[in-house]
Amino acid sequence: MSNIPKSLIEAIRQAERVTVLTGAGVSAESGVPTFRGKEGLWKKYSPQELATPQAFAQDPRLVWEWYDWRRGLIAPLKPNAAHKFIATLEERYPHFLLITQNIDGLHQKAGSKKLVELHGNIWKVRCTKEGTVEEDKRVPLPQIPPLCSRCGALLRPHVVWFGEPLPTDALHQAMEAAENCDLFLVVGTSAVVYPAASLPQIAQSHGAQVVEINPEETPITPIAHWSLRGKAGEICQRLAQALQDTHS
Ligand code: BJW
């Protein structure tokens, strides 16, 4: 595992505007499966059959069964050291934004408040007719596919599938935070899904220093000032420790 460079600790201490982008890898140590890689969901399940609007139109029951299964898997899981470390960062900086691609809600469970969810949230449902969004944390869902209690139309998971636009507000905030930060941390994402994958590049081209935390190289590695190779939870624990040590 990488050592934490002193220059990085100094940059974290000096920064005033910090933006963090997270992906599935940040939740891996909590037990949430990632999408890509050896054990990833896309090895067993086809994104075309489960994570597109066309798939939902063709077979809403199949899509809902998959989401219901994932909700059951995620429900008992707890935030790990990476979620907790990231939550502490928002206290540290006057300008801070956490941008997550994750839909699992674990950042919120860890205490993060200044965050935007680019790909939605698995604990919310949306009416396909009215567009209304509601929280629904029941596991398992009593009826599959679930129907809107007001109009009877089909409900869908409030997540962003391939080919769908990202929520305008969330994307706008994310772009602004990428353009205006001096330190941009990228944690646990393969950085292949756009437009999220463009955010580190935007930050770097606007003068931010980029830090990557990932056990593997990614398309972000060539533009990262620091690449910390290892698991997010373990690296974040060491970062927290190093920050404490240099403080005292
Ligand atoms: C660890 C670890 C540990 C392991 N610690 N790390 C430009 C170029 C090319 C294509 C496009 C483009 N613009 C748009 C596209 C198309 C498409 C896209 O990007 N396709 C590419 C795959 C080629 N994008 C879209 O369709 C997006 N929509 C869009 O652009 O709309 C435009 C539009 C405008 C106007 C009208 C209409 C349309 C939408 C993308 C939606 C993505 N949805 C999903 C599913 C969400 C719901 C669900 O969960 O069911 O989001 S797909 C999936 O990928 C999920 C994730 O958020 C996303 C990113 O994955 P992530 O988080 O990076 O996970 P992994 O598994 O890929 O990587 C895990 C990483 O963790 C790895 O690097 C590991 O090494 C690491 N790791 N253990 C730290 N312990």
Q: What are the backbone angles phi and psi of residue 49, rounded to the nearest 5°? A: -85, -15
Residue 169 pLDDT > 90: yes
The pLDDT, as a whole number, for residue 131 is: 97
Distances (CA, A) of 107 to 75, 82, 88, 113: 13, 9, 11, 8
| Among the ranges given (29-43, 153-167, 173-187, 206-220), the one the predictor scored with the smallest mean pLDDT | 29-43
**Tokens 């002193």 sit on residue:** 6
The pLDDT, as a whole number, for residue 181 is: 98
Residue 2 pLDDT > 80: no
CATH number of this structure's domain 38-76+125-159 = 3.30.1600.10
The pLDDT, as a whole number, for residue 157 is: 98
At 36-86, the pLDDT tens digits run 988 899 888 898 899 999 999 999 999 999 999 999 999 999 999 999 999
Q: Given the DSSP bridges, would you call strands 155-159 and 120-127 parallel, antiparallel or unpaired?
A: antiparallel
At 195-232, the pLDDT tens digits run 999 999 999 999 999 999 999 999 999 999 999 999 99
Residue 122 pLDDT > 70: yes
How close is the Cα of 14 to the center of ligand 1, in Å? Answer: 31
Atom 77, ligand 1: residue with shortest CA distance: 25
Give the pTM.
0.97
Cβ 231 under 6 angstroms from ligand 1: yes
The domain ranges of the chain are 6-31+79-119+166-247, 38-76+125-159
Share of the chain above pLDDT 90, in %: 92
Instruction: Assign 245 a pLDDT band (cuts: 50, 70, 90).
Output: confident
The pLDDT, as a whole number, for residue 1 is: 58
CATH number of this structure's domain 6-31+79-119+166-247 = 3.40.50.1220
Instruction: Let me know the angle formed at the C-alpha of 198 by 79 and 97, rounded to the nearest 5 degrees.
Output: 45
Cα-Cα end-to-end distance for the chain: 25
The pLDDT, as a whole number, for residue 247 is: 63
Cβ 34 under 6 angstroms from ligand 1: yes
Cβ 74 under 6 angstroms from ligand 1: no
Average pLDDT of the chain? 96
Looking at 83, 107, 119, 158, which residue is catalytic? 119
How close is the Cα of 242 to the center of ligand 1, in Å? Answer: 31
The pLDDT, as a whole number, for residue 248 is: 52
In the structure encoding, which two tokens stand for residue 235, read together?
Answer: 């690296």
**Is 119 in the active site?**
yes
* 46-85 as b/e: b if 16+ CB within 10 A: eeeebbbeebbeeebeebbbbbbebbeebeeeebbbbbbb
Cβ 99 under 6 angstroms from ligand 1: no
